[in-house]
Amino acid sequence: MKRYLIFLTFFLFLLNNQIALAAPQVTAQAAILIDKETGQILYQKNIHQRRAPASTTKIMTGILAIENGNLSDRVTASTKAAYEGGSSIYLSPNETLTLRELVYGLLIKSGNDAAVAIAEYIGGSVEDFAKMMNNKAREVGALDTVFKNPNGLPKEGHLTTAYDLAQIARYALHNNFFAQVVSTPKKRISWPGHSWDRILNNTNKLLTRSDIVDGVKTGYTRAAGRCLVASATKDNHQLISVVLKSADIWSDSLTLLNYGFNNYKKVQVIDKGELVHKLDINKEELGLIAAKEFNYVLSKGSSIKIKKVIDIKKDISLPIIKGEQLGKLSIYNEDNELLDRIDLISDEFVGDSSINRFWKMIASKIQIYF
């Protein structure tokens, strides 16, 4: 890579000088608030303390079911699944539902039986599905998490952290179907052998108590205490909160989410398709544009110094296809921490100059009528 522009800096100024924000008070023994898009941490309390997650475990079970199964598949509940203790959607042995219905039962009603049925169908067994869960946890950056089952029932060594649950939820919420399910207050699914359907009421009461809350999952066991992973969206800005072993999961979660919206603002640094750099290619100017946007979250009234470093591929050869990746834009903060790396792509086709001139001449002389 050839480094064309090194340490290009600019400033983002908001309202006034930087101010210190008063941290919100929550009863939870561990808690975190992050920006869903950027992953920035806006509040933290014992975020790496390993704790029992209870049914917040089902966030991972749900996203694995969606990613690894066909939602229209028919899944038959085993006796083991049907007789799993705790919260339940009341599966019977050999009862068959679609995977879609089981995901609703898992994430809305928090069915432990649905979790086992999903695990056995997707992973072959609870044990093998737990391996899939742990592999996925590593993939999304949840490095202090160990899952032993798909539902969060007490099991020695089944542990996670507030930070890890935020990373798992952040990943899962990028899936449109997952986001749709966890934002659903009530759902009707089939109930074979009965003259009425199952009515699933979401255990996340914030969905009906707040207009901005749109997820995600509750949890409770005696060991874990009351837990909630919540999400909320306001003005196209989504935040994720996690509270573990809380005396009041509803109040704690709303306190964190409102703190985030009241004190932080998302600022666009790079727009998708924005012209970032120009190259001279075979005596022609070629624009390099950003393949995606980059936003940053700032406390209201603060400023940040952003550093941009552009690296261009060596030995670029013709022809160049429109949209071809020709470099990288690295974005750093003032502490030299990498915030993001964005592909730079060509904004047009560039071929041999003589061929280009020929086609431009032809195009200038030909009129096409429809």
Residues 6+ apart with CB under 8 A from 66: 103, 175, 177, 178
| Pairwise CA distance, residues 126 & 266, whole Å | 41
Phi/psi at 130 (nearest 5 deg)?
-60, -35
- Is 58 considered catalytic here? yes
- Is 328 considered catalytic here? no
HEC string for 107-128: HCCCCHHHHHHHHHHHHCCHHH
Phi-psi group of 220: left, alpha or beta (phi > 0 → left; psi -120 to 50 → alpha; rest → beta): beta
Closest by CA position to 183, among listed 197, 153, 204, 154? 204
- Is 110 considered catalytic here? yes
Helix (H) or strand (E) holding 229: strand 225-234
Return the structure tokens found at 246: 């809380």
Query: The tokens 């699933």 sit on which residue?
Result: 200
Return the structure tokens found at 178: 């997952």
Exactly one of 36, 45, 109, 110 is catalytic; which is it?
110
| CA torsion through residues 207, 211, 213, 215, sign | positive
Closest by CA position to 229, among listed 360, 54, 80, 96? 54
To the nearest 10 degrees (0 to 180), the angle between helices 112-123 and 58-68 is 40
Exactly one of 36, 45, 58, 109 is catalytic; which is it?
58
Exactly one of 36, 55, 148, 346 is catalytic; which is it?
55
- Helix (H), strand (E) counts: the chain: 10, 17
Catalytic residues: 55, 58, 110
